[in-house]
Amino acid sequence: MTKPSDWHLETRLIRAGRSDNEAALAPVLWTSTTFVTPTVEEGRAMATSSRSRRFYTRYGNPTVNQFEDAIAELEGAECARAFASGMGAISAVLLGLCSSGDHVVAQKQLYAGTQLLLQSAAPRFGIDVTFVDATVPGAFAEAVIPGKTVVVFAETPANPRLALADLSELGAIAGPITVVDSTFATPLGQTPLDYGVDLVVHSATKAIAGHNDATLGVVAGSQELIDWLWQFAVLQGANAAPFDAMNGLRGLRTLGVRYRRQTESAIEIAQQLVDVEGVSDVIHPGLDSHPQRALVKKQMNLTGGLLTFELAGGLPAGERLVSSTEIAQLATSLGGPETLITHPASTTHVGLTPEEMIDAGITEGTIRLSVGLEDPVDIMEDLVQGLSSTS
Ligand SMILES: Cc1ncc(COP(=O)(O)O)c(C=O)c1O
């Protein structure tokens, strides 16, 4: 008999986060905002210790803690803290770890919300940020200012062109705290902490919860770092709602089959899109044509359901395509059961200047597709029909 600690990730996903469940098989929802304190001494201990589980829900909550435990187990971390959204987690990491006068190195290929936080909010708090190209070997380490750089922040694969940052390079950086937003990969795609990275962040709103019905974020790492973050997080107040954490736990049970299916469908669709007229530059980490394919093979186990491509017809073609597909629905998110199509130039990246758009690798004709769980044959037919309206 294999021991639970020897089980493969896809077996552990099914059971993770059940230690507080008594006999219940499904995740248990604890809605209470507060918990009866048995004695004054225990109340004192809970009010002053980190991550108390049954004191006050902003500090900790049994359902939320179970979700945190599950993510920590799957990422190979000592512990985790869940947040009200991915941005709640990212802002806690940056504002909880950095003070005025500190320096951050971040990549320029980022989710637009993270980029705006670093570009607009961080300077107001006296935090300097240097943006680097994650695809250039050594770029992160070169931008580190010894004694001043507190955080190195990467997102891999990154919005929206699925560029990779090298996890081994990040893990080898000594001094600053290295953070990887691993939302697109999920724990099934990669486990950054295995490479020496300090903290892994997810928008669990996406594939982890997986059904477009939970807004949820999480950070996992060493107990020391999570305890430190926890102290900021209870004051920041962006704690995860128990209902969303329960949906996160539910989502984890099917993450294995969902993420595998989405990866296979995305590769199948990407391979066919390459031959469609008016489409160019089809990018998916599972294609041999991905510019960093060797790195993909080195650090990713599964490559996920996201793909991007370029439309020769630019802005009008993009707007026509996203208005004419039926299975691929125009909505801003990813990783759920429904195939979603976005046109960054008219939606997610609309706030960027033309120079910033070029920097982020977006053109007016860039399309991002989050492949869902529908039959890939139907998704492809839908795209071909939609693309016929763009020429
Ligand atoms: C890579 C990545 N990180 C973080 C976020 C923010 O997550 P949330 O919407 O849960 O705040 C997103 C949202 O799309 C994302 O794509």
Cβ 308 under 6 angstroms from ligand 1: no
Mapped onto helix, strand or coil, the DSSP state of residue 354 is helix
CA angle 25, 27, 28 (to 5 degrees): 105
Sheet holding 306-311, edge to edge: 279-283, 306-311, 366-370, 340-342, 329-330
Considering only CA atoms, which residue is closest to atom 9 of ligand 1?
Answer: 86
Cβ 183 under 6 angstroms from ligand 1: yes
Neighbours of 350 (CB within 10 A): 11
Residues above pLDDT 90, as percent of the chain: 86
DSSP state of 93: H
> Does one domain contain both 288 and 238?
no
Per-residue model confidence as pLDDT tens digits over 160-182: 899 999 999 999 999 999 999 99
Q: How many domains does the chain have?
A: 2
251, 277, 305 - which closes a domain: 251
210, 236, 251 - which closes a domain: 251
Does the structure show a pLDDT above 80 at 360? no
CATH assignment at residue 343: 3.90.1150.10
User: What one-letter code names the amino acid at 50?
Assistant: S
Tokens of residue 138, six digits = 């050594």
In the reported structure, the alpha carbon of residue 104 is separated from the centroid of ligand 1 by a whole-number distance in angstroms of: 19
Cβ 181 under 6 angstroms from ligand 1: yes
Q: What one-character-per-residue DSSP string does 140-169 give?
A: HHHH--TTTEEEEEEESSBTTTTB---HHH
In the reported structure, the alpha carbon of residue 85 is separated from the centroid of ligand 1 by a whole-number distance in angstroms of: 8
The β-bridge relationship of strands 329-330 and 128-132 is unpaired
> Does one domain contain both 9 and 112?
yes
- How far CA 126 is from CA of 50, 98, 140, 233, in Å, comes to 28, 9, 21, 20
> Does one domain contain both 271 and 349?
yes
**In this predicted structure, what is the pLDDT of residue 5?**
81
> Does one domain contain both 96 and 52?
yes
Closest to 375 (Cα-Cα) out of 238, 268, 244: 268
**In this predicted structure, what is the pLDDT of residue 280?**
94
pLDDT band at 354; cut points 50, 70, 90:
confident
Known catalytic residues are 58, 111, 181, 206
Which of 17-21, 89-93, 211-215, 354-358 is the least confident region?
354-358
> Does one domain contain both 126 and 235?
yes
Q: Which residues are registered as beta bridge partners of 200?
A: 180, 220
Considering only CA atoms, which residue is closest to atom 16 of ligand 1?
Answer: 111
The domain in which residue 314 lies consists of: 256-388
pTM: 0.97
Closest to 385 (Cα-Cα) out of 331, 377, 306, 312: 377
> Does one domain contain both 265 and 211?
no
Cβ 203 under 6 angstroms from ligand 1: yes
Cβ 159 under 6 angstroms from ligand 1: yes
Neighbours of 2 (CB within 10 A): 8
> Does one domain contain both 279 and 384?
yes
Per-residue model confidence as pLDDT tens digits over 13-57: 999 998 888 899 999 999 999 999 989 998 888 888 877 889 999
In the reported structure, the alpha carbon of residue 87 is separated from the centroid of ligand 1 by a whole-number distance in angstroms of: 6
> What's the CA gap between 334 and 340, in Å, rounded?
7
Cβ 215 under 6 angstroms from ligand 1: yes
The β-bridge relationship of strands 199-203 and 149-155 is unpaired
Q: Which of 91, 159, 164, 183 to mutate to test the pocket of ligand 1 (most atoms within 8 A of CB)?
A: 183
Tokens of residue 68, six digits = 């945190």
> Does one domain contain both 160 and 225?
yes
251, 276, 304 - which closes a domain: 251
Considering only CA atoms, which residue is closest to atom 15 of ligand 1?
Answer: 111
User: What one-letter code names the amino acid at 119?
Assistant: Q
Does the structure show a pLDDT above 80 at 62? yes
CATH assignment at residue 79: 3.40.640.10
> Does one domain contain both 244 and 294?
no
Neighbours of 351 (CB within 10 A): 11
End-to-end Cα separation, the chain, in angstroms: 60
Per-residue model confidence as pLDDT tens digits over 291-340: 999 999 999 999 999 999 999 998 899 999 999 999 999 999 999 999 99
> Does one domain contain both 144 and 234?
yes
> Does one domain contain both 305 and 181?
no
Judge residue 142's burial from the number of C-beta atoms within 10 Å of its C-beta, 0-12 exposed, 13-18 middle, 19 or more buried.
exposed
> Does one domain contain both 224 and 262?
no
Per-residue model confidence as pLDDT tens digits over 238-247: 999 999 999 9
Mapped onto helix, strand or coil, the DSSP state of residue 30 is coil
In the reported structure, the alpha carbon of residue 10 is separated from the centroid of ligand 1 by a whole-number distance in angstroms of: 24
In the reported structure, the alpha carbon of residue 203 is separated from the centroid of ligand 1 by a whole-number distance in angstroms of: 5
